[in-house]
């Protein structure tokens, strides 16, 4: 299948599911819910839920299990969205623009944005623990644990804390890798792992997909660093050059543009290598890996 | 048992468990973890985990299940602590003092405090989903769902959003009740419900303890409103009279001090009524209900 069409189709599927999952939320809390909805539906490539679903598709064709992976991916998208809302706050990165639109706190105020983020994070775990899930309850708990670890203080939140603390300081490349792995890599790896678990993958498949996920997470962050340096605010939908302006370490700052492109390509190759030995070559995952590198052009 | 001794013993038990649960968290993220630890161990009555454990004690004497209830209560305490950190932020209630000590953002900065809160919220779900829990996995998932609902956008976070939005506006008493029920009541009720589930209570017992928890949650908030009006900053460990200064609606503002005391007592009586018909009268829960009212003197 043509990858662009696939991505468009899956994006619609994810957004339809997010809409239906959010419908339950209503009542006297409407301004707050509105703030959550705003950031959840303002845009985004939905790459995490798409990877979660693609990972499940690599191990099963069962529509019931694929639906489980879709809901799991939506929960992870809620966590990703909350992290953007909090990262954009004046006390953090102080960004006015995200996905070409005003950031949450510009519209709902700082208190509103903090609470919208808190609400989305909590809602994610409500989704993951929902009753009547068709997977085994031990699997459901395993996914919750995985998501909590990847997004918590030894994962995404810890990475953001390191990132904020490290602005305008010179730190070694190893430290940048730790930040990338925790701040961005962990949740992407987790999306792919959780998709495999939701799809009831064999242990061997989970291992391979985990290695794929780690490499994809790294590639994704390297490409993000590159785009911050080489793209424009219009194309990115957020302020280009923001990392450099804040004195943040990035791959291009350490290695220059050309070498950084090579490192991105190596990470993509490593991701594809991890899939060798699958009964059926998971074409979609290979194409998704290439797609991440293609964003650099 | 004398209630003051009981509370002191249980407080130590909760804090020991919290310490051992937090020990796993370490590594390069130390400043961030330190900020989490600060608020978690700066003080507090630990009333939510104590209620969670007491609820389990009312239905079982099995030490393994009581340990489950203790861990569950610790997770809920992490959520309570995160909510205080975020509520104290300059963008929210802008408080410098909490439990007689500087608030989190005074020591770790706004970004650090936001992330410490995010980390604690996420850690709570990691604890609730921990592997090797001795309860049935369906029960474990039920507790996670319950906690997510009580602390999310239709519970605690939604209540805080309503509270912030309602400052300096005149709203009817029904609206105050909605704020109290969601902002404070939901998590207290949830602590008691979750304790019952962790203790493997019968459905009938869960129903009774849920009604007990609802009444206790209400009593607790009425008493908090009273203390804000009648106590001193020294005794409270936070700024007394802060609600009035912020133009927040409170029970005393609607009913005056004496009538508010009566309403608190009524809620405590209702809590005790809910326990009628238990095979063994759960003395501890009765004493805890009375203790909440006694704080008004």
The chain A residue lying nearest B141, using CA atoms, is A129
Tell me if A187 sits within 8 A of A79, measured CB to CB: yes
Share of chain B above pLDDT 70, in %: 94
Q: How many residues does the structure list for chain A?
A: 297
pLDDT for the residue A249:
80
pLDDT for the residue B114:
98
Residue indicated by tokens 């936070």:
B238
Interchain CB distance below 8 Å, B145 and A126: yes
Over residues B69-74, mean pLDDT: 98
Share of chain A above pLDDT 90, in %: 73
Cβ-based contacts of B109 with chain A (< 8 Å): 91
Cβ-based contacts of B89 with chain A (< 8 Å): 110-111, 114
Cβ-based contacts of B131 with chain A (< 8 Å): 141-142, 145
Of A122, A141, A153, the CB nearest to B119: A153
Mutual angle of helices B3-22 and B47-57, in 10-degree steps: 110
pLDDT in tens, A149-192: 999 999 999 999 999 888 777 888 999 999 999 999 999 999 99
User: Which residues pair with residue A102 across a beta bridge?
Assistant: A97
pLDDT in tens, B42-64: 989 999 999 999 999 999 999 99
The distance of B141 to chain A (nearest Cα, Å) reads: 6
Question: What's the per-residue H, E or C state across chain A?
Answer: CCHHHHHHHHHHHHHHHHHHHHCCCCHHHHHHHHHHHHHHHCCCCCHHHHHHHHHHHCCCCCHHHHHHHHHHHHHHHHHHHHHHHHHCCCCCCCCCEECCEECHHHHHHHHHHHHHHHHHHHHHHHHHCCCCCCCCHHHHHHHHHHHHHHHCCCCHHHHHHHHHHCCCCCCCHHHHHHHHHHHHHHHHHHHHHHHHHHCCCCHHHHHHHHHHHHHHHHHHHHHHHHHHHHCCHHHHCCCCCHHHHCCCCCHHHHHHHHHHHHHHHHHHHHHHHHCCCCCCCCHHHHHHHHHHHHCCC
Cβ-based contacts of A122 with chain B (< 8 Å): 121, 148, 151-153, 157
The distance of B253 to chain A (nearest Cα, Å) reads: 22
pTM over 0.90: yes
**Is the model's pLDDT at B153 over the cut of 60?**
yes
Which residues 32-61 of A are in CB contact (within 8 Å) with B? 32-33, 36
Over residues A284-291, mean pLDDT: 93
Banded model confidence at residue B198, pLDDT cuts 50, 70, 90: very high
pLDDT for the residue B131:
82
Tokens of B215: 């009444």
pLDDT for the residue B1:
58
Among A115, A146, A168, the strongest candidate for a mutation testing the B interface, having the largest count of B CBs within 10 A, is A115
Tell whether A119 lies on the interface with B, counting CB pairs under 8 A.
yes
Distance, first Cα to last Cα, chain B = 22
pLDDT for the residue A24:
63
Query: How many C-beta neighbours within 10 Å does residue A126 have?
Result: 24
pLDDT for the residue A248:
77
DSSP assigned state of B170: -
The distance of B1 to chain A (nearest Cα, Å) reads: 38
Tokens of A21: 């999952």
Share of chain A above pLDDT 70, in %: 94
Over residues A280-297, mean pLDDT: 84
Share of chain B above pLDDT 90, in %: 73
Banded model confidence at residue B296, pLDDT cuts 50, 70, 90: low
Tell whether B3 lies on the interface with A, counting CB pairs under 8 A.
no
Q: Determine which of A173-187, B96-110, B131-145, B283-297 has the lowest per-residue pLDDT on average.
A: B283-297
Q: Could you tell me how many CB contacts below 8 A there are between chain A and chain B?
A: 163
The distance of B153 to chain A (nearest Cα, Å) reads: 5
Over residues B150-168, mean pLDDT: 91
Mean pLDDT (chain B, rounded): 91
Cβ-based contacts of B175 with chain A (< 8 Å): 28
d(CA B47, CA B8): 11
pLDDT in tens, B273-291: 999 988 777 889 999 999 9
Over residues B180-186, mean pLDDT: 93
Which residues 135-154 of A are in CB contact (within 8 Å) with B? 137-138, 140-142, 144-145, 148-149, 151-154
The chain A residue lying nearest B37, using CA atoms, is A153
Tell whether B161 lies on the interface with A, counting CB pairs under 8 A.
yes
Cβ-based contacts of A32 with chain B (< 8 Å): 153, 157-158, 161-162
Interchain CB distance below 8 Å, A119 and B144: no
Banded model confidence at residue B197, pLDDT cuts 50, 70, 90: very high
| CA-based nearest residue to B121, from B91, B89, B156, B159 | B156
What's the complex ipTM?
0.94
pLDDT for the residue A78:
98
**Is the model's pLDDT at B212 over the cut of 80?**
yes
**Is the model's pLDDT at A244 over the cut of 80?**
no
The chain A residue lying nearest B160, using CA atoms, is A115
Cβ-based contacts of A114 with chain B (< 8 Å): 86, 89, 91-92, 114
**Is the model's pLDDT at B25 over the cut of 70?**
no
Cβ-based contacts of B28 with chain A (< 8 Å): 162, 175, 178
The chain A residue lying nearest B176, using CA atoms, is A28
Tell whether B181 lies on the interface with A, counting CB pairs under 8 A.
no
d(CA B146, CA A190): 24
**Is the model's pLDDT at A17 over the cut of 70?**
yes
Q: Which residues contact A45 (CB under 8 A, 6 or more apart)?
A: A7, A11
d(CA A143, CA A146): 5
Report, in angstroms and rounded to the nearest whole number, the Rg of chain A calculated over CA atoms: 18
DSSP assigned state of B191: H
Q: Determine which of A19-28, A86-95, B75-84 has the lowest per-residue pLDDT on average.
A: A19-28
Of A28, A109, A130, the CB nearest to B145: A130
Cβ-based contacts of A125 with chain B (< 8 Å): 125, 144, 148
Over residues A10-31, mean pLDDT: 83
Interchain CB distance below 8 Å, B122 and A178: no
Higher-pLDDT residue of B67, B170: B67
**Is the model's pLDDT at A297 over the cut of 70?**
no
What are the Cα distances from residue A166, in Å, to A48, A176, A241, A249?
Answer: 26, 9, 17, 8
Interchain CB distance below 8 Å, A153 and B33: yes
pLDDT in tens, A204-238: 999 999 999 999 999 999 999 998 888 776 666 77
Banded model confidence at residue B24, pLDDT cuts 50, 70, 90: low
Interchain CB distance below 8 Å, A152 and B126: yes
d(CA B29, CA B119): 11
Nearest 5°: phi and psi at B140? Answer: -60, -45
Most confident of B157-166, B222-231, B261-270: B261-270
Q: Which residues contact B88 (CB under 8 A, 6 or more apart)?
A: B94, B95, B98, B103, B104, B105, B113
Report, in angstroms and rounded to the nearest whole number, the Rg of chain B calculated over CA atoms: 18
d(CA B230, CA B219): 16
Q: B4: exposed, middle or buried (C-beta count within 10 Å: 0-12, 13-18, 19+)?
A: exposed
| B244-280 per-residue burial string, b: 16 or more CB within 10 A, e: under 16 | eeeebbbbbbebeeeebbebbeebbebbbebbeebee
Residue-range domains of chain B with CATH: 3-294 (1.10.600.10)
Interchain CB distance below 8 Å, B152 and A31: no
Nearest 5°: phi and psi at B97? Answer: -130, 135
d(CA B251, CA A105): 31
pLDDT for the residue A23:
82
Banded model confidence at residue A296, pLDDT cuts 50, 70, 90: low
The chain B residue lying nearest A26, using CA atoms, is B154
């Amino acid at each position: 299948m043509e990858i662009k069409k696939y991505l468009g189709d899956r994006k619609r599927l994810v957004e339809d599911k997010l809409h239906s999952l959010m419908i339950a939320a209503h009542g006297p809390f409407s301004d707050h819910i509105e703030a959550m909805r705003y950031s959840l539906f303002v845009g985004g490539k939905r790459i995490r839920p798409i990877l979660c679903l693609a990972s499940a598709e690599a191990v099963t064709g069962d529509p019931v299990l694929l639906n489980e992976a879709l809901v799991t991916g939506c929960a992870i998208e809620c966590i990703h969205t909350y992290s953007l809302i909090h990262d954009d706050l004046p006390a953090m990165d102080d960004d006015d623009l995200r996905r070409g639109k005003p950031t949450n706190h510009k519209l709902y105020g700082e208190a509103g944005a903090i609470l919208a983020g808190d609400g989305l994070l909590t809602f994610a775990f409500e989704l993951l623990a929902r009753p009547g899930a068709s997977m085994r309850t031990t699997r459901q708990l395993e996914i919750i644990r995985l998501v909590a670890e990847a997004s918590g203080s030894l994962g995404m939140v810890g990475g953001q804390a390191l990132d904020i603390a490290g602005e305008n300081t010179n730190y070694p490349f190893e430290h940048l890798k730790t930040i990338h792995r925790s701040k961005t890599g962990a949740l992407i790896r987790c999306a792919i792992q959780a998709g495999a678990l939701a799809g009831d993958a064999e242990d061997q498949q989970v291992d391979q997909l985990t290695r794929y996920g780690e490499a994809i997470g790294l590639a994704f962050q390297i490409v993000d660093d590159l785009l911050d340096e080489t793209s424009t605010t219009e194309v990115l939908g957020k302020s280009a050059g923001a990392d450099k302006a804040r004195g943040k370490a990035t791959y291009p700052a350490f290695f220059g543009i050309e070498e950084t492109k090579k490192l991105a390509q190596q990470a993509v190759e490593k991701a594809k290598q991890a899939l060798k030995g699958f009964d059926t070559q998971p074409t979609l995952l290979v194409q998704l890996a290439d797609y991440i590198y293609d964003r650099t052009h």
